[in-house]
A and B are shown apart, each in its own frame.
Chain A
């Protein structure tokens, strides 16, 4: 079975919510829709206080090319356009809407029928994806239309659908594939049409055998699409790792996947593309996983954007006793939430409750030069060296040692027998080196 070339770990899978059918969260009285995205510029609000909005109506217009539109996920009255604390405790612009009923825009097709034929041209599809505000739902929330327009001179050969879901606990993509398999494959054909490629591969880790079987069966009637089961290994969901696993091609340092003729799209994004193109439905909701060892009923839920996470948690059984830490996203790449009163964003894939015993870090000891971190680094870096250089603020040396290639997967910190905070220091170094590089580029201009 295929997997990527170097590094990687295999953390406890803990897919507790696997096989739980997707349930819908009922609408709260108020939603707060964030206008800022994890990557790209924040959108500009196009509604003001007192405006009536319907589900699917545009409320935030993209600011520039690398930005995404934001649509209302509820119908009701705009209470205010203000700032809202995000998961890291900083203020971000957001639109506050008081919910009144559930009235959708007339153009959105709400019938459950699957539209298999796509009648639109390449340009029409791209415009639809851009206006629907679709971003990568794997976590980085990079605008999809930018990814689907390769720079001039570059040509995509293969489309790779990222259905790996290598994060422990998370099962939202798995369940989406089980329930919306047909729609996802139509989405893949649409993406193939945009990119003008003949071949698409859906990469799924082998701990989801039912999804592999289910999608393979449907894929038989779609020429050019194949399903590739992959060996379970973290961080296989990383773009460069997935290309390495499936195509055996390595993306050069500092380059993007199109360099080796590949475009990678997340499976949930593919489903959103299907809905946007065939059903005219913008990105206003997504599936998220609520899980954790002490959670009574771990499950997968369809949540509208802007619903407070506290409301989601309340409807799914509340915070379990003895919780020490709540993580937004998966336990490997996710960040602990300092507050549950943060709105659901496009990139929120899950909430994981960690009990007190597992929440705290163990005391760090001296480095014993075992080189385990070097062995597991999927980018072939030397984490122990980067950490030392970051501690000593040796930015030039860090840049030379390719710190910007780090994907912040955390494999080094996970595997370190001395519990050294490798990723913390590397992340600090990476952000400082990134700033230095940007400063240099602007000075050159």
Chain B
């Protein structure tokens, strides 16, 4: 009888002592966290894509709570809707950021850019890029082994098996920038999505002189400056034989698309033109 009593007392006593100790320690070293961080995190899409520039949604929530204004913060996945919710939780105002999307700037399909050799090593863009310039004559263009496809967490970018060029699904793309970092040729760019997803951009990254790039690919930018001359908004600049359309200045007038002699400037999601109906398909390189 005595033995049982002693053991109950010792065990019970130790238990009570430890409970008091744990309670004291937890009170003493309590981490006080802003409860709004949890609320903001719950409002975020939980994609953890890193498109905002922070390590995951939690990191972004902390940044939102700590920031003085939300002007420079944007969740590319949720857009204005999510940011509105975040703003209402924090009692701050929010500015609308233009929605962006990933754009692959290479039009060198098998048809336009003939294959000159066959690569039978590991089908991985980075490994092929380490080894040599690629299967075609253009050392700037897409290798087509789909590192961007592997990098995308949303299944938004897929290499078209026919053209061997990746295509972006605009509805799925959150413009997180994973594909931009994955591409060894730096072909992918985050651009403004544009009104009704309408965009005009130079579909080429080749910085060679015109005759060299044209030899390798039919739809390469040859740096002829015709687009600069027709652009009424001064939205186009040429550096190292390559044109670039600045999406903040471009008013989508499409004059450059018509002027480009190599069809290197493409328009996306525009209604078909009335005059050049037969050419519309060519220009819709999606």
Contacts and interface: CB of A to CB of B under 8 A. Distances in A.
Contacts of B121: 361, 421, 424
A89 B122 contact: no
A428 B116 contact: no
B74 to A, nearest CB: 28
Contact of A428 (B120, B127, B133, B139): B127
Interface string B117-138: 1001110101100111110000
A424 B121 CA distance: 7
B273 to A, nearest CB: 38
Contact of A361 (B120, B131, B132): B120
Contacts of A339: 116
Given A338-B116, A360-B120, A424-B122, A431 B130 contact: yes
A339 B116 CA distance: 9
A88 B127 contact: no
Interface residues of A, number: 16
Given A89-B139, A361-B120, A421-B121, A338 B133 contact: yes
Interface residues of B, number: 15
B175 to A, nearest CB: 23
A418 B44 CA distance: 46
A427 B127 CA distance: 8
Given A90-B139, A428-B126, A335 B120 contact: no
A420 to B, nearest CB: 10
Contacts of A427: 127, 130-131
A88 B120 contact: no
B122 A335 contact: no
Contacts of A421: 121-122
A425 B131 contact: no
Interface in A227-258: none
B132 A88 contact: yes
A88 B131 contact: yes
5 contacts: A89-B132, A335-B131, A338-B133, A424-B131, A427-B130
A427 B130 CA distance: 8
Interface of B: 116-117, 120-122, 124, 126-127, 130-134, 139, 208
A contacts with B: majority SS: loop
Contacts of B126: 428
A48 interface: no
A348 to B, nearest CB: 16
Interface of A: 87-91, 335, 338-339, 360-361, 421, 424-425, 427-428, 431
B132 A425 contact: no
Nearest to B136: A89
A321 to B, nearest CB: 18
A338 B133 CA distance: 9
A328 B127 CA distance: 19
From A87, A338, A425, name the one whose CB has the most chain B CB atoms within 10 angstroms. A338
A325 to B, nearest CB: 9
Contacts of A88: 131-133
A66 B96 CA distance: 54
Contacts of A91: 139, 208
Given A338-B116, A339-B116, A428-B126, 16 more contacts: A88-B132, A89-B132, A90-B132, A90-B133, A91-B139, A91-B208, A335-B132, A338-B132, A361-B120, A361-B121, A421-B121, A421-B122, A424-B131, A425-B122, A425-B127, A431-B130
A360 B120 CA distance: 7
A424 B117 CA distance: 18
Contacts of B117: 338
A427 B134 CA distance: 17
A335 B133 CA distance: 13
B127 A89 contact: no
A424 B133 CA distance: 15
A291 B126 CA distance: 32
A3 B125 CA distance: 39
A425 B116 CA distance: 24
A339 B132 CA distance: 11
Nearest to A364: B122
Contacts of B124: 424, 428
Contacts of B122: 421, 424-425
B159 to A, nearest CB: 19
A38 to B, nearest CB: 14
A338 B216 CA distance: 14
Complex A-B, nearest 7 residue pairs according to Cβ-Cβ distance, in ascending order: A89-B133, A88-B132, A424-B122, A421-B122, A338-B117, A428-B127, A89-B132
